[in-house]
Amino acid sequence: MNRTIFASYYESDNMLYEENMSAMKVLIAEEKNKSKIADLIYYRLYNRFLKPFFFDESPELQKYPILVELYRKQYKNGFAMMANCCLLIETVASFLGGTNKTEKDKAVESYIKVFKKAKDYGNDLEKFVDKKIYGAMRCGLLHQGETYDNFIIRRSGDILYSDDKTINATKFARALRLFLQSYREELKSEKWDSELWDNCRTKIRHIIANSSEKIGK
């Protein structure tokens, strides 16, 4: 049995729930599990990449406005948010395309794929389809801890300023969260034998296989 965790999440009872790779292998074998699979993908991606940046929006914290303000001023960081968003975009692209790895010559395409999909969802991320987010933002942040090509990160204002190079990290992350929610709902409504589901299941099989290799080592 492969007990590596695919997704973990908390329900309203504040209890931790987990689904491992062996459970996922069983789930993706039957159409009746569509809704649960879609939820687990959402939990995997949202909890790992975005949830920490929305701590100030949690219902429990609203009772303590001083802590909310402290978090926003001293802990929330636009650079960290955009770095995680860039990682998440590539991950989402791999689910949409059913890929195991992002080929070097197709990295930019993975971003364009997500931003084009955002247009289908009526999501603000569509504004970035022709922007140099991969090279100027992703590569700059992950390799050097800074942006390239005069891109600027803020946590106020529009999601994309009129200069086409200033990005509101908070709104960008919120738009990406909405994208994940739309993807989850599309999975629930789309046909089991659709390209969307074929690629999704292929990606999950890659994840399961990769985790099995790690156990073997």
Confidence at residue 212, expressed as pLDDT on a 0 to 100 scale: 86
Average pLDDT score, the chain: 96
Q: What is the C-alpha to C-alpha distance for residues 112 and 124, in angstroms, rounded to an integer?
A: 14
Say what the pLDDT of residue 106 is.
87
Question: In this model, does residue 202 exceed pLDDT 70?
Answer: yes
**Domain map (residue ranges) of the chain:** 5-216
Please write the tens of the pLDDT for every residue from 118-170.
999 999 999 999 999 999 999 999 999 999 999 999 999 999 999 999 999 99
Burial of 11 (0-12, 13-18, 19+ CB in 10 A): exposed
E-strand stretches of the chain: 5-10, 16-20, 152-154, 166-168
What is the pLDDT, as a whole number, of residue 152? 97
Q: List, in order, residues 6 or more apart from 99 with CB less than 8 Å away.
A: 93, 203, 206
Could you tell me the pLDDT band of residue 215, with boundaries at 50, 70 and 90? low
pLDDT tens sequence across 70-124: 999 999 999 999 999 999 999 999 999 999 998 888 899 999 999 999 999 999 9
Top-confidence residue, 23 or 60 = 23
What is the rounded CA–CA span in Å between residue 136 and residue 37?
A: 34
pLDDT at 216 over 60: no
Read off the pLDDT of each residue in 32-54 and give the average, rounded to a whole number.
Answer: 98
Q: pLDDT digit string (tens) for 6-41? A: 999 999 888 999 999 999 999 999 999 999 999 999
Rg, Å, the chain Cα set: 18
